[in-house]
Copies of this chain bind each other. A is one copy, B any other.
Amino acid sequence: MLSRLLQPEIKSLIDTRDLSTLKEVLSDWTPADIAELISDLPEYEQAVIFRLLPRDLAADVFEYIDFDMQISLLKGLGKEEAASILNEMSPDDRTALLEDLPGSAARQMITLLSPEERKIAVTLLGYPEDSVGRLMTPDYIALKPEWTMSEVLNHIRQYGKDSETLNIIYVVDDKGKLIDDLKIRDIILASPDKKVIDIMDENFVALHVTDDQESAVQTFKKYDRVALPVIDARDLLIGIVTVDDVFDVAEEEATEDIHKLAAVEALEEPYSTMPFFSMIKKRVVWLTVLFVGEMLTASAMGFFEDEIAKAVVLALFVPLIISSGGNSGSQAATLVIRAIALGEITLKDWWHIMRREILSGLMLGLILGTIGFLRISLWGSFSNIYGEHWVLIGLTVGFSLIGVVLWGTLSGSMLPFILKKLGLDPATSSAPFVATLVDVTGLVIYFTFAILFLSGTLL
């Protein structure tokens, strides 16, 4: 907001190269606002502004800049400046940058780090992709149970400057094993002569370093924490994860699911900045798979070519029938996929969901089938477009709709369970995927009812 309002003024300061005033103005801004300002500037001016910032503010600002721009900015800075930024960055944000770089570029950046920071970076990158380890920062405060509150406050004053958060502080035993977490509130509220052990409740929640990031999202949500400690297989405290990073993970996951539901591969980059051909690649694969699958409809239709030739009127309702199956299937699939993603339902619920969705499918099919029958009856009785057998055509369409909607709802709701059971992502059963599946079977259902109702009259 702020940066946009002042943009013209900032622009004139840059144009007139009034860098000292600019430096002064920016010193009052938050890192996030400076990052937004820099992101809105043309590339050749970004480094100019960035160089004005004091060293520690520069690293803060850098963490708020988008990945693409981080790379171009690093290239625009000198080796020494880049090294300073990388060394000052918080380890979790640095991991996020390094893991997205091509291997050679990442290695080059790691050589710029101080021996100490290099060790941290290499350790964090050693954890599996999408694991909690990759979100972790080793900047936390750990206390010993026997310390008094005034010792604790002294310790915090001495070592707290670099800690990512002071909201929650951890207690470890002599071996480094996590034994409790304390809110800073409890430390401040306790009288100074109390010991850590006196206010401990040994009641804490921790993440395991190899846990999936998705499970970290669930844990944060369940316990409403702003930070959680991370322990290794021996229960040793090795880092913390903060809520802002988990927020980003949750949002990325939702975006990925939304894209998959529309049969787009997970983009991994913002839509707006993604290069044209990468974007085409993410879309064309599924589009082609669906297209090839949908070719089966031509074969199915070919199978009933004689019926269509005899009663062309049947062809008129093909789009209506198959799209109703597709729409009801999309609804069911999406509801089930999102409920699985939110942890509302699990694999063992499939039987319960199936019974419910069969009832839903019947109900919805009856409603659409009735509307379809009435529409054909109305047109059929007041005009001659459907010929003399309009009642039979109406019945064919009506019953087909019940069958197709029931089948769409059933397959849409069960496919995510099947995929999950096979160890695949349920969101792969995208709306278009379900629709394609239902199209082929929908045609068979429709023409079967047609033969049933129209044999001897139209067929």
- Measured CB to CB, the residues of A under 8 A from B are 28-30, 32, 36, 64, 153, 156-157, 160-161, 163, 165-167, 183-185, 188-189, 201-203, 205, 220-226, 243-244, 247-248, 250-251, 254-255, 257-259, 261-264, 267, 270-273, 276, 279-280, 283-284, 286-288, 290-292, 294-295, 297-298, 301-302, 305, 308-309, 312-313, 315-320, 322-324, 326-328, 330-331, 333-336, 338-339, 342, 344-345, 349, 356, 359-360, 363-364, 367-368, 371-372, 375, 385, 431-432, 435-436, 439, 443
Kindly report how many copies of this chain are found in the complex they form together: 2
Interface centre among A202, A247, A439 (most CB of B within 10 A): A247
Chain B residues contacting A167 (CB-CB under 8 Å) are: 165-167, 184, 226
Q: Are A294 and B319 in contact (CB under 8 A)?
A: yes
| Complex Cα–Cα for A317 and B297 (A) | 8
Name the contact of A323 in the complex, choosing from B36, B221, B294 (C-beta under 8 A): B294
**How far apart are A394's CB and chain B's nearest CB, in angstroms?**
12
| Complex Cα–Cα for A157 and B331 (A) | 53
5 interchain pairs (CB within 8 A)?
Answer: A254-B258, A271-B338, A272-B349, A286-B331, A301-B316
| Complex Cα–Cα for A251 and B224 (A) | 14
Given A222-B32, A223-B32, A247-B243; A330-B262 close (CB under 8 Å)? yes
Q: Are B443 and A319 in contact (CB under 8 A)?
A: yes
**How far apart are A417's CB and chain B's nearest CB, in angstroms?**
14
Interface centre among A224, A349, A363 (most CB of B within 10 A): A224
Q: Are A375 and B189 in contact (CB under 8 A)?
A: no
Q: Are B223 and A226 in contact (CB under 8 A)?
A: no
